[in-house]
Amino acid sequence: MSFRLLVAAAAAQARRRTYSQAARCGGGQTLVEKIAQRHAVDLAEGEVVRSGDFIGIRPHHIMTHDNTGAVIPKFSSIGARRLADAQQPVFALDHDIQNTSAKNQAKYAGIEAFAKTHGSKFYPAGRGIAHQVLVEEGHAWPGTMVVGSDSHSNMYGGVGCLGTPVVRTDAAAIWATAQTWWQAPPVARVELRGELAPGVVGKDVIVALCALFANDEVLNHAVEFVGDGAKSLPVEDRLAIANMTTEWGALAGLFAVDDVTLRWYDERAERGAHAIVNPDTVAKLRRDVAADPSRWTADPDAVYAKTLWLDLSSLTPHVAGPDSVKIAQPLGELEPRRVHIHKAYLLSCVNSRQKDLREAADVVRGVQEARGVPVKVSPGVAWYVAAASSQVLADAQASGDWQVLVDAGATPLPPGCGPCIGLGVGLLEDGEVGISATNRNYKGRMGSKAAHTYLSSPAVVAASALQGYICSPETAISGTAHPPSVRPVLYGSQVHVAKPAAASLDAANSAISGFPQSLSGRLIFLPADNLNTDGIYPGKYTYQDDISREQMRAIVMENYDPEFARLVRPDDVVVAGANFGTGSSREQAATAILAAGVRLVICASASETFKRNAVNNGLLVLESPVLVAWLRAAFPEAPLTAVTGLIADADLVGGKIALMDSKGAVAFETGLPRVGKAAQEIIVAGGLENWVRKRMAAER
């Protein structure tokens, strides 16, 4: 293929260009960038946070739950003895609360003692699911950035709080220093148009979005929901949508603060005395929004990676599954198949708030009114219900909704995660089918891998539990088949092509002492997409703690290509396909690559967990889909590990890469995300834990 054709092939992929290039052009900020800017540390004077930038952040709060027990040893191992900011961590026990074994109770007691020793906020088992608790208690506050050691931290975006997940090493670093690093993600603008019809709720919106845009359109993006449709949604629906942006592949899901948000806080402030959510703090929030509206929304000329849109008025109830959130269909198409169920679940952080419980209870009431007699769950079906929090439970009990559900045969569980993560009673067994108002339906998630799970709204769960098969509330109430009408869902997308990048600030565009301005080495191309952590570092070695660095070098990529270890050399630049490092969270996938002498991996896209583990251990991972597209065009028959004969010269601070052929001529050039000061410091220190140790030593 000629050079001209190679360039043309790469240009065809320009719409997928690395977003850091897009975001550095002139223009305003997205809401994600604005909130990140307010929580960024050590920025140069006048520096503006843009998508793609590596920045240091000091989040408003860091949440850990049961995994606090695993973070405490990490915190101790780096030499930390006290929390940098005792008010920053929030501990909430929610995952394994049905486990009353002595071992688990001792673990919980240890977490509580740790919180008490350091004077941090602690919520015991039974208070509720951590994400719900943080919203109720005001820790996830509008306009702030809150991180959590849990993938559903996205949920905070439902109240205008930028919530995003971090890994456990980050949590320990934040405890010790009050800060960590973050690469501001590309931002997708999702315009919701029109209004939902009666009987269609937020869960239907996000289930539909996950299926309609099922090709990684928002993978590792932050999502901002805008439009008249977004403004029409109640906060409970916004929380559900933001929560499941995790399953959609996003790192955050954010709604702007508006009158709906403020009225919701007004109502919460009336519940009684509270340290954070009270008439004074809510009045101040209102004044702040009125005084500077631009602070609470994206700029009109903000730069987005893409725009997706969905017409809410065209949406009907949807059901996801079985066994994937990327497979969904209108309930009207699924109901005629009469999918028999064995278990039904109304619980989890996505759909067990008071509104959800009320909608389910109203289905039961409707059936009872139509039949004139009390109704029970269908024979052979087990129905489980748990409130998202003790506060939700109290509200549902006071309204009578809780008793309606229990009287109908639902088995009550304590406020917590429980079956949603495969813990406690009521798990799916071999061959069973479940309908659930939870957020994940992967095989084995809620029990047996030989079971099947569908996801739906709480009302559809209730109707299905009463009828014994997946059906609409109308069918359950009428007693005859009455599936919702099916009509085309209106939706679309637009990928934005960036203008040329504007010049960056010199201070923000320089290398700190010890950090290489550029890296140069042979380009090794791994053309596969979805190269997972087991392919990089086989699971059979994961728990062998005595494996040396040299042994790691010999087994790296063993399950992907045994030839890789023989072909790779120190300082090679590895370029890989999309979704690199997907799979488990094992840190050895990153340290094994480092053991091979590789300091830089460039890929079309990377698992965010892998990326964080990599940087936290001193390995740079940058994304450039344009570079990967060019290499695929240049090497269409590339083996699993291709020694390309090209030399890659990556300008890490300036944000660009050039490929040289054997004669030293430039074969291709494109942009890269620039590596900012926050990431530079971690790389120079040899990883996040070393960075924390040095920072603590400097402050003594």
One-character DSSP codes across 437-489:
SSS---TTTTB-TTSEEEE--HHHHHHHHHHSBS--HHHHHHSS--PPP--PP
Residue 71 DSSP one-character state: H
Task: Fill in the amino acid letter for 296.
Answer: W
User: Which residues share a beta bridge with 323?
Assistant: none
Q: CB under 8 Å to 21, separation ≥6 — which residues?
A: 52, 498, 501, 655, 671
Closest CA to 535 of 565, 556, 554: 556
* pTM recorded for the entire structure: 0.90
pLDDT at residue 519, rounded to an integer: 97
Give alpha helix (H) positions in 556-676. Answer: 564-567, 588-595, 608-616, 625-634
pLDDT at residue 496, rounded to an integer: 72
pLDDT at residue 16, rounded to an integer: 37
Based on DSSP, count helices (H) and strands (E) in the chain, helices before strands.
26, 27
pLDDT at residue 699, rounded to an integer: 78
Tokens, residue 410: 């639902």
Nearest 5°: the CA angle 449, 450, 453 is 80
pLDDT at residue 509, rounded to an integer: 66
Q: CB under 8 Å to 59, separation ≥6 — which residues?
A: 39, 88, 144, 145, 146, 147, 174, 179, 180
Cβ atoms within 10 Å, residue 50:
28
pLDDT at residue 26, rounded to an integer: 59
In the numeric block, the tokens 């504007």 are attached to: 502
d(CA 250, CA 217): 9
Q: What are the C-alpha distances in Å from 29 to residues 166, 218, 224, 596?
A: 23, 19, 12, 40
Which H helix or E strand runs over 359?
A: helix 354-371
Nearest 5°: the CA angle 91, 92, 94 is 150
Residue 16 DSSP one-character state: G
Query: 14, exposed or middle or buried, with CB in 10 Å at 0-12, 13-18, 19+?
Result: middle
- Note the Cα 226 to chain centre separation in Å: 19
Query: 678, exposed or middle or buried, with CB in 10 Å at 0-12, 13-18, 19+?
Result: buried
pLDDT at residue 508, rounded to an integer: 52
Asked whether the beta carbons of 82 and 100 are under 8 A apart, the reply is no
Q: What are the C-alpha distances in Å from 648 to residues 18, 33, 515, 645?
A: 17, 31, 18, 10
Instruction: Please identify every stretch of the chain with a pLDDT value under 70, giving residue numbers as ranges.
Output: 1-26, 497-509
d(CA 590, CA 598): 10
Tokens, residue 112: 């509580």
In the numeric block, the tokens 């997946």 are attached to: 470
Asked whether the beta carbons of 493 and 377 are under 8 A apart, the reply is no
